[in-house]
Amino acid sequence: MTINENLYPIKSWSDIQLNNIKHDNSVAIIMRTKNRPVLLARALESVIQQSYTNWHIYLVNDGGDTSPVNQLIDLNFIDLNHKITVIHNNYSLGMEAASNCGLNIANEEYLVVHDDDDAWHPDFLKETVAYLNTEQQAVAVLTNCIIINEEIQEDKSIQLGTMRWPNWHDQVDITTLIKNNVSPPICLLIRMSVAKQIGEFNKNLPVLGDWDYILRLFRAGEIKTLNKILAYYYHRPNHSNNYGNSVIAAIDKHQKYHVEFRNSLVRQSILENQGNYGILHILLNDNMEKYNLLAQKINKLDHKIGDIQGNVYYLRRKSFPLKRLAAKLQRCIRKWRHKI
């Protein structure tokens, strides 16, 4: 029997040496891009405007045109000099493999993925680095964010509207995380020592790689939260070309891999220990009992609503003669007034 385990998170900790990781509060910023210079310009500006300055960008141009990327770096030479490493891939490796191009050479104390279409509040790095310095037991911290819908028109971003991130929770709980991702990458600052131990991003996932990674990060320890709007997560619902978001433009692929990825998690768990069948059976049976109980309560409410509707109909019928009498009296009064 052949089982595809590629979707499953990397199972063992990496044996990579951690001796070269810095301990100076520095931040490695992995930024992936491909033929989106309008968005890349905003992303670079987002980093340059940070009030916290101890950072280094690992910019991975994943198979896109090199000229616009180099031009943007030249335009920001004063701010980016000695603070950026540019990697031009000859062809596209995919989002997660592109991230690995930066991860494998970065050695700063902290790590964050800043996609080319997102942005930060100027104090994102200042707040998150300070938080992890205080909360030494946390493996990472994520902030709240705002979703901004936009359109790209004539090389300009036109804002359409905003909304709060709908999946915010004050604590990262496995019962929530196991169902869906709880944060876009732009909100998450990670300890590099933990990132190196977890290993590379899963290059076999064309989508949902950030969910896979945060699930693996969860195994290492507590992911803390900072309920402040410090990140901006941009969506372009009307674009399906280079400027489209995978969560919108590739929604079918997201749905497909959402099922296959979850199945792979369960399959691997059962392969490792057949007894996990029992655990799954208990959990599913418990959920079914709760569902049946809820269904019974809903059924009782339906009967009560039916009784109330019947009573209302009965009262309406009983009141009909009274309504006719009241109407007759009103007509008599009007005639009497007219005669006077």
Angle, CA 170 vertex, CA 285 and CA 248 arms, to 5°? 75
Do residues 119 and 46 make contact, with C-beta atoms less than 8 angstroms apart?
yes
Name every residue whose Cβ is closer than 8 Å to that of residue 255 and which is 6 or more positions away in sequence: none
The pLDDT value recorded for residue 3 is: 42
**According to the model, what pLDDT value does residue 70 have?**
97
Q: Which residue's entry shows tokens 């080319």?
A: 116
pLDDT (tens digit, 9 = 90+) per residue, 283-292?
Answer: 666 555 666 6
* pLDDT at site 116: 94
CA neighbor of 36 nearest in space, from 299, 325, 241: 241
Quote the pLDDT of residue 298.
Answer: 78
Give the chain's residues under pLDDT 50: 1-3
Q: CA dist 78 to 125, 130, 178, Å?
A: 20, 26, 44
- DSSP letter, residue 250: T
The amino acid that residue 237 corresponds to is: P
Global pTM value:
0.76
Q: Which of 21, 24, 78, 26 is nearest to 53 (CA)?
A: 26
Q: Quick: pLDDT tens for 211-240.
A: 889 989 998 999 999 999 999 999 987 766
Q: What value, to the nearest 5°, has the Cα angle with vertex 232 and ends 230 and 236?
A: 170
Angle CA 291–293–299, to nearest 5: 100
Based on the number of CB atoms within 10 Å of its own CB, is 331 exposed (0-12), middle (13-18) or buried (19 or more)? exposed
Measured CA to CA in angstroms, residue 296 lies from 266, 299, 309 at distances of: 30, 5, 20
The confidence score (pLDDT) of residue 340 equals 62
Could you give the CA distance from residue 91 to residue 73 in angstroms, rounded to a whole number? Answer: 21
23: Cβ–Cβ under 8 A, 6 or more apart, which residues? Answer: 109
Helices 209-220 and 95-103: crossing angle in degrees, nearest 10, is: 50
The phi and psi torsions of 180 (rounded to 5 degrees) equal -155, 160
**Reduced to 3 states, what is the DSSP secondary structure of residue 291?**
helix
Convert 303-322 to b/e letters by CB count within 10 Å (16 or more is b): eeeeeeeeeeeeeeeeeeee
Q: What is the pLDDT of residue 2?
A: 41
pLDDT score at 255: 75
- Residue 175, pLDDT score: 82
Residue at 287: amino acid letter:
N
Beta bridge partners of 235: 149
Q: What is the largest CA-CA distance in the chain?
A: 108
Res 242: pLDDT: 64
Rounded to the nearest angstrom, the gap between the alpha carbon of residue 31 and the centroid of all alpha carbons in its chain is 17
State the pLDDT at residue 181: 86
